[in-house]
Chains A and B, each alone.
Chain A
């Protein structure tokens, strides 16, 4: 049995966020070195501010400024910072209740070691040199020996050129292991053979195999070589160019039932003008040097298959 395959899978995308009025004021404030909270009906000041009262569900819009100094309410030491965390050297994650606020804000505290951090310690904001209207405009917190430097004062949240949206890049690092059945399938492909697996219960042949029959719920192990020829069961003509795909349009994207397989796989048809492709067309794979999968399928020249021969595979 071939060795099971494994490869990194990185999923990343720059998502956007529309901020709405409260977050817009909060992040624009940070850009201007101002920290804003929001006042609830019972007079509590929430920092960071939220749009809706977590207790009463009422809409909150009354903004107010708070100090840039505060008190650590709890903390955890981070001995090994990961990429994109606020500090590259070991630091403390802290919840800080800024002076004037009733709730605490999560951020990083720059401290030489865990022995230098304690609940109740006084800290102040260290502003980033370049600020864009993001939580990272607060570079981190740092220990602070003095009294409060700011006061609670009403603030209308109005700034010139407010930040209304942000980009939040997301990245997930996975390791992908396709498993026994797909590894065997890929191994056979490297010898230009297409090998599916038959369900021991319903006897249907699955290509590509997933290692189990989705209908019967039992493992498939019997390998069955299928094709290489097959029949186009249905298709569409793609007229719009897909991103990151180096194929000239128009091209034909087809469902192909390989001889001996019980469901169709999907592939591109070439070697024939796109407007001459038809249901029932007999095709075979075209392999290219170094390609893991067939590059495309082309007509074999055989007569078309009868509709009745493949209609159950549509």
Chain B
């Protein structure tokens, strides 16, 4: 069983911070002192005060409330995009390794094709053509990222596919479903989990980049990256409003990876994590 005292301190910090971010995102309307698009101050970039803990932004909106709503959008898009890229990339990668032959060749060359175009440029082109809404954003981010996951999972699965226990399963007559999900997946979990932590953060950063360029989340909503963009001009005047969402991205990155490392420790155990 899971024993809290046996979790290393670093992982515990990661778990606490990550859960705080998640709770903030889920209960955003209850926590936020003001509305997301509500203009509460006459002066833009108002200083931090008891009414506005983090001050206000470039339009005089409460920055804390914006941050809380921003967590919601950032996490929602990043989580869904990562989930999509992993399910797509891992399943296609594993099946390419198991089936081999033409299936593998065609899929691998398609992925090479996609990867040969820089992700950002590809994203910009596709997003400027397609209607700008959350669904397209998630789909584009997920599919572009899945190429990296595909390559990793195919490489890992090719090694596992030649093990005697996979051969034993094939001799038993098992279908590809069992081989992919019950024989290969559990043994490929460790590299995938460590990649997951990294890819999730890349998704947050990619979303920030897209928003920064104006193709991501559309105003008045904003993810943290978009908020950096909105407030970037303030830096010139010594106003820290742009640094707060940036710091939030950094904190999220670190805490998610602390959790991923801890999960990794447990998935590498060959004794079911109980030994």
* Mutual binders A and B: no
Residues of chain B at the chain A interface (Cβ within 8 Å): none
Residues of chain A at the chain B interface (Cβ within 8 Å): none
